[in-house]
Amino acid sequence: MRIAITGVRDGLIMIGLALLLCLFLLGAFIVADKYHINVLWVCFAWSSVLAIPAFLRAVRGHLKRPIMIPFLVGLNLVSYIALPIIRSFPISAVI
């Protein structure tokens, strides 16, 4: 019985966090539209922010190495370069 309650609670927490993230993203794009900020900058900022927790958990032991900082910066730059390329393809070409 305890496992079922914990599973339901965890599911509700995950749904709540997903909805909260959607609200933050929506707010970011509304603010970007209001202040005439390019959409690519918003996408780049969110991809950089959301990548931090994933890397902290996955490569915690490697973070003490000095090569990790240029690697993370380079990864963000690659995502910044890839965003316009991805955006230029119509969705029908992907499907």
pLDDT digits (tens, 9 = 90+) for 30-86: 888 888 888 877 877 777 777 777 777 777 787 778 888 888 788 778 877 877 776
Query: Per-domain residue ranges for the chain?
Result: 1-35, 38-95
Quick check: 41 and 79 in contact, CB under 8 A? no
3-state SS, residue 36? coil
pLDDT band at 93 (very low <50, low <70, confident <90, very high): low
Q: Determine the Cα angle at 80 with ends 48 and 54, to 5°.
A: 30
Task: Please name the residues in contact with 47: beta carbons below 8 A apart, sequence gap of 6 or more.
Answer: 76, 79, 83
pTM: 0.50
